[in-house]
């Protein structure tokens, strides 16, 4: 990283490495591990940007009270966060409490595709337990309250001495109307409110979007006056994980409601990467990732306009290649498509800063190394460095490493 000219590195701490049972006894070996990493980064002039929760809930808390479904998680997460502030906060000045809370709520509790695999779609044919119409909203609510509790603790106990900042990393697709019809334009706005607005609006306005209140009704939890006061203003910056853009239209059928009865049905929209048989952009390896650089600039302006120009970090942006065993190493290292992806997205990001006045303060490529990509496992390679999983995890720089090095040295 230092050779490339990078001045920041984002990584996550595993909750169970610090508190194996979620609360209580601290694991000193875990503290020592992260101290070594933090100190090594700082010795190379690289600032650590630390994510406290990237989906690895201690199993003990899932077994005890179903994890993020229970309000107790708010206090337990705050205890974990304070343990990290006390251990690392003298050197870590940039904290991200939760990575992609929207993905956790949807994939874990609506679609059931990721841990803990809860849902009720298709009459429980896919998941053994869960409620896709209520649980995503409960989990989201607890994420928001947990961040607010951690922010309050940091500001009252640690900020004066440590002078750090806390934000959250939101996963945000950009949406464009499928047509110029007013109903599709409104649907596009609604889709964004059920995505970024769902999680960001409470921190800026003290409540969920009015559209959500209307469409979800009593299934959408409410903030007490005290909670709303604690939540509003609890973000020091907005983290954005952005990869792709889709077309959106109004859903004028009740098929989704009948089959799913979930958050997508509540949204009343359908988002697709195709219009009139043509893709919105070239596709990366992942079936969901279409390359649409203009979406970055549009999204930055949306955040600026809706939330009054908050500080923004692009906490993830990147594309993947296939991990086919039939591709020779020398060919796998020639990632010209990735270079173009980052060049074009960064060009749009730069325009949003220089021409539009967006307050963007940092950019993190996803990812430094090829890694385990959740449901995709090792079939997807997002890294700037190729990792040979069959030969002691040896790392090889792809062409994008030299491209980034040249870019950073010329900036």
Catalytic residues: 100, 316
For residues 144 and 58, what is the distance between their CA atoms, to the nearest angstrom?
19
Give the DSSP per-residue string, 256-276.
HHHHT-SHHHHHTEEEESEET
Contacts for 98 with CB less than 8 Å, ≥ 6 apart: 51, 52, 53, 104, 143, 146, 147, 168, 169
Contacts for 266 with CB less than 8 Å, ≥ 6 apart: 133, 194, 212, 215, 216
Residue closest to 114 by CA, chosen among 374, 326, 402: 374
For residues 345 and 366, what is the distance between their CA atoms, to the nearest angstrom?
13
Contacts for 191 with CB less than 8 Å, ≥ 6 apart: 175, 248, 267, 269, 271
Q: What angle do CA 339, 188, 176 make, to 5 degrees?
A: 35
The token pair that represents 382 in the structure block: 């997002």
**Phi–psi pair at 272, nearest 5 degrees:** -140, 155
For residues 139 and 391, what is the distance between their CA atoms, to the nearest angstrom?
40
Contacts for 149 with CB less than 8 Å, ≥ 6 apart: 74, 75, 77, 78, 230
Task: Please tell me what DSSP assigns to residue 374.
Answer: G
Are the beta carbons of 178 and 305 closer than 8 angstroms? Answer: no
Strand partners, 98: 53
* Half-sphere exposure at residue 41, Cβ-oriented, CA atoms within 13 angstroms: 20
With tokens 């006061």, the residue in question is 229
For residues 230 and 214, what is the distance between their CA atoms, to the nearest angstrom?
24
Residue closest to 83 by CA, chosen among 155, 15, 33, 156: 15
Give the DSSP per-residue string, 309-322.
S--EEEEE----EE
């Amino acid at each position: 990283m230092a050779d490339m000219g990078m001045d920041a590195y984002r990584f996550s701490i595993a909750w169970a490495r610090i508190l194996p049972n979620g609360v209580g006894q601290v694991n000193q070996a875990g503290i020592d591990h992260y101290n070594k990493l933090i100190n090594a980064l700082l010795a190379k002039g690289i600032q650590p940007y630390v994510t406290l929760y990237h989906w690895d809930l201690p199993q003990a808390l899932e077994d005890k009270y179903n994890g993020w479904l229970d309000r107790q998680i708010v206090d337990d997460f705050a205890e974990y966060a304070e343990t990290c502030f006390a251990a690392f906060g003298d050197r870590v000045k940039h904290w991200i409490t939760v990575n992609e809370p929207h993905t956790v709520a949807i994939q874990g509790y609506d679609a059931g595709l990721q841990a803990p695999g809860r849902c009720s779609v298709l009459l429980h044919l896919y998941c053994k337990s869960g409620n896709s119409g209520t649980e995503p909203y409960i989990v989201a609510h607890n994420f928001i309250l947990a961040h607010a509790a951690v922010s309050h603790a940091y500001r009252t106990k640690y900020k004066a001495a440590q002078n750090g900042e806390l934000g959250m990393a939101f996963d945000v697709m950009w949406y464009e109307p499928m047509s110029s019809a007013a109903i599709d334009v409104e649907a596009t706005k609604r889709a964004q409110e059920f995505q970024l607005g769902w999680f960001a609006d409470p921190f800026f306005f003290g409540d969920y979007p009015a559209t959500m209140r209307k469409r979800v009704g009593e299934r959408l939890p409410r903030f007490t006056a005290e909670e709303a006061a604690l939540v509003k203003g609890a973000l020091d910056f907005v983290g954005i994980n952005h990869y792709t853009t889709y077309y959106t239209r109004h859903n004028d059928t009740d098929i989704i409601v009948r089959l799913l009865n979930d958050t997508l049905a509540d949204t009343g929209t359908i988002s697709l990467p195709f219009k009139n048989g043509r893709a919105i952009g070239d596709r990366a390896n992942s079936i969901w990732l279409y390359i649409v650089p203009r979406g970055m600039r549009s999204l930055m302006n949306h955040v600026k306009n809706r939330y009054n120009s908050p500080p923004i970090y692009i906490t993830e942006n990147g594309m993947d290649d296939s991990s086919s065993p039939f591709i020779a190493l020398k060919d796998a290292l020639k990632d010209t498509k990735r270079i173009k992806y980052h060049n074009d997205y960064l060009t749009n990001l730069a325009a949003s800063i220089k021409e539009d006045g967006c307050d963007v303060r940092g950019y993190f490529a996803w990812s430094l190394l090829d890694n385990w990509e959740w449901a995709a496992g090792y079939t997807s390679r997002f890294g700037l460095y190729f990792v040979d999983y069959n030969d002691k995890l040896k790392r090889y720089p792809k062409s994008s490493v030299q491209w980034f090095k040249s870019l950073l040295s010329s900036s």
